[in-house]
Amino acid sequence: MNKKVSVVVWEKQDCPYCEEVKQHLADSGFEYQIVDVSGNDALREVLKVKYGVDHVPVVEIGFGNRYDAVTEIGIPKLEKTIRHYRMSS
């Protein structure tokens, strides 16, 4: 069964790490939605409540009732997390 993987990238404008993450997701064949936290303290507060961080990028990835969040900066952590979703996309 092929499951539709949902990916959300929390980002801000002019963030080179965010651009790197989005490029890696695209190169890996993942479509994603964006939540831009630029100038929006309420959205940053959501990140603090959900994940205990106030930085971006944060990547939420999953399907059904299972979601993982990548809050660490850098492609290696993202790659480790998306590896098991590749077969589902």
pLDDT (tens digit per residue) in 47-84? 999 999 989 999 999 988 889 999 999 899 999 888 87
Enumerate domains of the chain plus CATH numbers. 6-88 (3.40.30.10)
Question: Which residues, including other chains, have CB under 8 Å from residue 27's CB and lie 6 or more apart?
Answer: none
pLDDT in tens, 5-48: 899 999 999 999 999 999 999 999 899 999 999 999 999 999 99
Burial of 20 (0-12, 13-18, 19+ CB in 10 A): middle
**Inter-residue contact 9 to 57 (CB < 8 Å):** yes
